[in-house]
Structure formats: C-alpha cells, structure tokens
C-alpha cells in the first residue's frame, strides 16, 4: 500500500499565532463566551474548468474557471464579514483547492498564516473515468451505473491503467508515494486517508485553540463531514457539497460538531452566504449526471 510520508507536517501551523489565546484586551466578549468551541471552516474549491465542461476530474490538476475565481473571492469576503480569523490552513496538492485557499487568505488579509498541503486532502481519484464527459458516460453506461460510481459509498469506478498519465505513479508530485497499480478510489477509501490525516494533523491544531480552514474538494470534504457528523452510508450518498461556499463548524473538545442554527441537515455546520443560492449550487452538483 501507499505511505503517508508525503504530507508536509503541521509543524508550520504550530508556529502560527493563536488568535484564541491573544491578550484579553483585543478579544471580544463573544470570543470568551465561545472559548470552549473550536472553529473549523471547510471550503470546496470554486468552479473548475472541468466542472464547467462537466468532466470527471479526480486528481487531474485543472484550474479554476473565471466563475470559480469569483466564487472564492466572495467566499473570502464572507469569512471576513463573519469575523472568522483562521490561524492556519490546510489544502490538497491540487491547484483548484490551493488557488481557492489563496484567494480566501488574500481577501481576509491572512496570506501570512501557515499553510500545509497534503495529498490526503486531494479529491477522490476517479480511476479510469478521469477526463471523460459525465453526460456521455451516462449515455454509454446508464444513469444508474454512473450514479453508483459517483455516489455509492464503497463501489469504486474502474481502475486507471498504470501506464496512463492519470495514474499517480506517473505524476512527479507523488514521487515519494507508492500507489497500487490498480488505483481508483471510492468514498470509503477516500475517507480512510482523509480521516487519519484530520485526526493526526488537523484536530491537534483545533484542540490547541486554533481556528483552522481547509480548502479541499467535493469528495474529500464529503468524507470529512461523514466522519465529523457521523452520517450514514445511505445518507451520504445524497449529500452534495457546493463549490466555493464556506461551511463553518463549531466543534467541542472531542471534535464533535455543536449543532448550529441555520445548519443544513445532515450537516451540523452552517454555510455562509445566500442560502437560496447555496441550495441552487448543491442542486447543480447533483444534476451533473441527469
Ligand atoms: O469530477 C470530480 O472529481 C468530482 C468533483 O467535481 O465530481 P463528482 O461530483 O462526480 O464526484
């Protein structure tokens, strides 16, 4: 199997200033009242060029579309308006998530905070489907089969050929990892790399009083919220995460979400922004394979 050695550790995060522990004179009363809460902001990247073209993306490193850039600039403004000040940031090795994080940090005036990039936060690898048109794949294999590949919990898409440019062993950014020749990922196997990464590298920062932002992907975040909100396998199949929309969690000391007003069941986090527009974005993700 593969090793987890590639992740840059969260050492950098530990060197960041802890906003939760700054002098009382600069802290608001509200901050004191919520001192036992740990704030975690999740953001799926903005619309990518392949979201726009409706292609299976996975680990293909496509950029944000013009609309995607706009979405995440707006996400940064929303985070700033909400008064949320991340102390450290995590993202994947994929430019659509990295660029999303950078836009948000720029908008919030926090480009200086420590950021950690880890392949474990990458999108779910889509196996042999990467690069294919989603609607053409429905036309060829049927809607039900494609839905199984997209949203079933533990049935992965067909494996990618080891000689393909889409196999991670042919991508220099994964040079110090080992991946099986028959590589593909289901949501289950994605969760099996996202969750240990969260527990080992991110949860300690939260427990240390840091506010953390994670800019990642539709399925790596579905895996993470399944874990945080303890969502069942059948329910997670129905859950879609919109692009470029901050999802704010307040966690207790055991990293269990504290229910918030305005959260979208089955999530206990709340999305920032126009709630109707967010619903429309969620429907848009769902309807990529009608
Ligand atoms: O193509 C992908 O990698 C993902 C996210 O865009 O798509 P889906 O919504 O089908 O999981």
| Residue range 128-161, pLDDT digits in tens | 999 999 999 999 999 999 999 999 999 999 999 9
Residue nearest to atom 5 of ligand 1 (CA): 218
Confidence of residue 279 (pLDDT cuts 50, 70, 90): very high
Residue 11 lies in a domain: no
**Structurally, how many domains does the chain consist of?**
1
In short, whether 91's Cβ falls inside 6 Å of ligand 1 is no
* Model pLDDT for residues 234-249, shown as the tens digit of each residue: 999 999 999 999 999 9
Cα–Cα distance measured from residue 202 to residue 213, given in angstroms and rounded to the nearest whole number? 10
Does 137 contact ligand 1 (Cβ within 6 A)? no
Phi and psi, residue 151, nearest 5°: -125, -5
Q: For residue 231, tell me if it sits in a domain.
A: yes
**Does residue 13 belong to any structural domain of this protein?**
no
**Mapping DSSP to helix (H, G, I), strand (E, B) and coil, where does residue 126 land?**
coil
Cα–ligand 1 centroid distance for 275 (angstroms): 22
Q: Could you identify the atom of ligand 1 that is nearest to the CA of residue 240?
A: 9
Q: What is the pTM of this model?
A: 0.90
Q: What is the CATH number of the domain that holds 219?
A: 3.40.50.1240
Q: Which atom of ligand 1 is nearest to the CA of 123?
A: 3
Residue range of the domain that includes 105: 35-289
Which ipTM value was assigned to this complex?
0.96
116 is an annotated ligand-binding site residue: no
In tens, the pLDDT along 59-104 reads: 999 999 999 999 999 999 999 999 999 999 999 999 999 999 999 9
251 in any annotated domain: yes
Q: Do the annotations mark residue 27 as ligand-binding?
A: no
Which of 125, 218, 243 should be mutated for ligand 1, with most atoms under 8 A from CB? 218
The reply to whether 71 falls in a domain is yes
Find out whether 219 is annotated in a ligand binding site. yes
Q: Measure the CA–CA gap between 250 and 37, rounded to whole angstroms.
A: 6
Alpha helices in the chain, H assignment, sequence order:
11-14, 29-33, 49-53, 66-81, 95-107, 134-141, 143-151, 187-197, 203-207, 218-229, 233-236, 275-286
- Whether 9 maps to a domain, the answer reads no
Residue 59 is labelled as binding a ligand: no
Instruction: Lay out the sheet containing 270-271: strands in order across.
Output: 115-117, 88-91, 212-216, 38-44, 247-251, 270-271
Q: Which atom of ligand 1 is nearest to the CA of 151?
A: 11
Q: Compute the average pLDDT of residues 177-182.
A: 94
For residue 3, which of 186, 199, 178 has the smallest C-alpha distance?
178
Cα of 22 vs centre of ligand 1, distance in Å, is: 40
**21, part of any domain:** no
Q: Which of 57, 156, 166 to mutate to test the pocket of ligand 1 (most atoms within 8 A of CB)?
A: 57
Query: CA distances (Å), 118 to each of 4, 35, 239, in order?
Result: 9, 29, 24
Please report whether residue 100 resides in a domain. yes
Q: How far is the CA of 132 from the centre of ligand 1 (A)?
A: 11
pLDDT band at residue 289 using 50, 70 and 90 as cut-offs? confident
pLDDT confidence bin for 13, thresholds 50/70/90 = low
Mutate-to-test residue for ligand 1 from 285, 286, 289, 290, highest number of ligand atoms within 8 A of CB: 285
């Amino acid at each position: 199997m593969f090793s987890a050695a590639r992740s840059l550790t969260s050492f950098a995060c530990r060197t960041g200033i802890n906003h939760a522990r700054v002098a009382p004179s600069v802290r608001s009363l509200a901050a004191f009242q919520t001192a036992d809460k740990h704030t975690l902001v999740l953001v799926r990247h903005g619309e990518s060029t392949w979201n726009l073209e409706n292609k299976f993306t996975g680990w293909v490193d496509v950029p944000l579309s013009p609309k995607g850039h706009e979405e995440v600039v707006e996400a940064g403004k929303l985070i700033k308006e909400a008064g949320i000040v991340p102390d450290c940031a995590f993202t994947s090795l994929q430019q659509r998530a990295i660029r999303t994080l950078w836009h948000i940090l720029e908008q919030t005036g926090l480009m200086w905070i420590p950021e950690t990039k880890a392949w474990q936060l990458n999108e779910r690898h889509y196996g042999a489907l990467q690069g294919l048109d989603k609607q053409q794949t429905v036309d060829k294999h049927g809607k039900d089969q494609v839905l199984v590949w997209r949203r079933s919990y533990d049935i992965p898409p067909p494996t990618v050929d080891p000689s393909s440019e889409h196999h991670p062993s042919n991508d220099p950014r994964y040079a110090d990892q080992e991946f099986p020749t028959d590589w593909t990922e289901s949501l289950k196997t994605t969760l099996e790399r996202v969750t240990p990464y969260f527990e080992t590298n991110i949860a300690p920062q939260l427990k240390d009083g840091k506010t953390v932002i994670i800019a990642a992907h539709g399925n790596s975040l579905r895996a993470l919220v399944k874990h945080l909100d303890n969502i069942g396998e059948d329910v997670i199949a129905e859950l879609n995460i919109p692009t470029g929309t901050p999802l704010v969690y307040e966690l207790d000391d055991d990293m269990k979400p504290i229910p918030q007003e305005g959260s979208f069941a089955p999530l206990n986090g709340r999305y920032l922004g126009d709630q109707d527009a967010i619903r429309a974005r969620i429907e848009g993700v769902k309807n990529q394979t009608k």
